[in-house]
Chains A and B, each alone.
Chain A
C-alpha cells in the first residue's frame, strides 16, 4: 500500500497530493464525531462522576474517593460480582460443552449439513430480550411448559415453580443461554476447525495417532486463536449479563441473581445515585479492559507464523 502511494506521488505536485490526502479527514469526520460525543466524552464523564456525589436532581459535589471507599464496604456489590463470575464460569463451560461437539458435527460438508447448521444457529439471531421473554413463559409455573409437562407425565407430584428457589432458577437461565448462544460459538469454533490443514490430520493417521491423540496434538494447538476468541466473547458477554436476569428473574429469588450490571443499573437508575453508579461502572470497566488485554495477548500471532 505504502509502496504504491510512494510510487505514484512524483506524478503530481507534492502540495496537490497532500491536499487530496487531507480530504480523507472529511470522510472519517462523522464517525470520529459520533465516537467522541457518544463514547469518549461519556467515558471521561464516568471517571469524573465517580469522584462526585451526583444525584439526579440538584447540585453535585466533589467527594474524592468516597464512592470507591463505599464500594469496599458494599457487600451487595461484591455478592453481585461473585455471582457474576460464578455464572460466567458455569455458562462458559456449558456453552463449550454443547458448541464444540456441534462444531465438529457440522465442520465437514456432508448431506444436510447446511440444514443442521442453520437450525442450530437460529436461536442466536433472536435477541436476548426476546429469548428471555420466551423462556419466562416456558418456565412459568401455571401457563408455561416445563412444570405442567413434568406434572402431567408424573415426574413431579405437584407443579414445581422453577423460578422460586435459586438452584432450579439458575440452571434454567443456564439452559436458556446455552440454547441461545451455542450456535454462535459453534460457528466460530467451526472456522477454527476448518482452518486446520487436512493433510496434517492425514499424516497423523498414517503415523498411527488415534482420534484423541490427534485432537490433543493437532486440533487444540492449531485452534488456539479461535478457542481464545470464542472463550473471550463468551466470558465478556457473560460478565455483562443483564437481560435474562432482569426479564426472567428480576434478580430474584431473594436478590440472589443480581449481576454486576444489574446492580449498577439499580444504583444508577432506580436509586439515582449516579456518582456511585459511575464508580461501580469504573470497577466493571477495569475488569473488562483487563480481559481485553488478555485477549490481545492470547490472540497474538504465533511466533514465526503469520
Chain B
C-alpha cells in the first residue's frame, strides 16, 4: 500500500517535471523554429503574419534567392563574415597558444605585468574605445578592411583565450617536457609535437568562442566597415531590415537571420562539451 503510494507520487513528480521541461523547451526553441520554417514560404506568403509558421501555399526557397539581390548580395556579406570569423579563429588560436605557452613555461622580465595587462583589458568595455580604434586602423592603412576588423576581434578574444591556454599548459606535467628535452626536442617542436596534443581541448574551446564572437559581433562591424561591399552579415541584414533597400522584405530578413543562426547552432550542438567547458573555466576561476 505504502509502496504503491510512493510509486504514484514518483510518477506524478516525473510527469510534472517533464511537462514543465517540455513547455519551457518549446518556449525557448519556438522563435528559432518559427523563423526557420517561415523562410520556406513563397515571398507572397512570407509577407503575411506567420500563422501557421510552416508554408501553406507550397515550399519555396524564393526568400533565399531574393536575398542575393540586395546591395552586393547575401553571398558577398556571408563571404565577408566567413572570412572574418575564420581568420579570427586562426589568428587568435595562434597568438593565444604561443602566449599561453610563454606565460606558463618561461620566467622572463615583466611576465606578470604583461599577463595582468592582457587580462585587465576585459575590464574596459571596447565600446568606449571604438573611435580611437577607427583612427588607429586609418593610420595603419587598415581602414575599412576586413583585416582591420579581424585584428580588433582577435584583440578582444585575447584575455579569455590566453587565460584558458595558460591554464591548459599549466595542467601539463613538467616531466613530459623534461623527457622530450632529453630526447633533443627544441622549444618549437616541443610545443607542436608534445604540448599541442595535450592542450587540444583548450584550443577547440577558444576557437569556438572566437568564431561565435566574430560571427555575431555587430557594433564594431557597424562602425568600422563603412563600405557596403565590406559589410558582415549582421550589418548587412540590419541595413536590409531598416528599409535601406526599399520596402522591407520580411521573408528575406528571416532567410538572412536563418543563415546567421544556423552555423552557431550547429557548432554549438557539435561542440557543446567544449562550450560548457569554456563557461565553467570562466565561472569557476
* Interface presence of B64 (CB below 8 A): no
Chain A 250-280 interface residues, beta-carbon cutoff 8 Å to B: 250, 261, 264-265, 268-269, 274, 277-278
User: Beyond A32-B114, A112-B18, A148-B49, is A125–B268 a contact (Cβ under 8 Å)?
Assistant: yes
Chain B 218-266 interface residues, beta-carbon cutoff 8 Å to A: 218-219, 223, 234, 237-238, 241-242, 250, 253-254, 256-257, 260-261, 264-265
Partner pick for B117 among A32, A133, A135, CB 8 A cutoff: A32
Instruction: List B contacts of A297 (CB < 8 A).
Output: none
User: Beyond A42-B133, A42-B136, A136-B241, is A129–B260 a contact (Cβ under 8 Å)?
Assistant: yes
Contact with B along A179-208 (1 / 0, CB 8 A): 100011001100110010000000000000
Is A38's CB under 8 angstroms from B102's CB? no
Nearest CB of chain B from residue A107's CB, rounded to whole Å:
12
Is B264's CB under 8 angstroms from A127's CB? yes
Is A43's CB under 8 angstroms from B234's CB? no
Overall SS of chain B's interface: helix
Is B17's CB under 8 angstroms from A188's CB? no
Partner pick for A35 among B118, B217, B279, CB 8 A cutoff: B118
Report the stretch among A20-28, A70-78, A162-170 that lies at the interface: A20-28
* Interface presence of B216 (CB below 8 A): yes
Complexed CA–CA distance, A136 and B96 (Å) = 37
- Chain B: interface residue total (CB-CB under 8 A): 92
Q: Can you list 29 A-B contacts (CB < 8 A)?
A: A1-B170, A4-B174, A26-B102, A27-B102, A28-B114, A31-B96, A31-B114, A37-B136, A102-B24, A112-B21, A115-B21, A123-B32, A125-B268, A127-B234, A127-B260, A130-B216, A133-B237, A133-B253, A134-B35, A136-B241, A142-B49, A143-B47, A144-B49, A145-B34, A247-B218, A247-B238, A269-B223, A278-B132, A285-B128
For the A-B complex with A43-B124, A127-B215, A288-B128 known, give 13 more contacts whose Cβ atoms are closer than 8 Å.
A30-B99, A42-B129, A45-B129, A102-B24, A118-B269, A119-B25, A123-B31, A127-B212, A145-B34, A236-B125, A246-B238, A284-B125, A288-B124
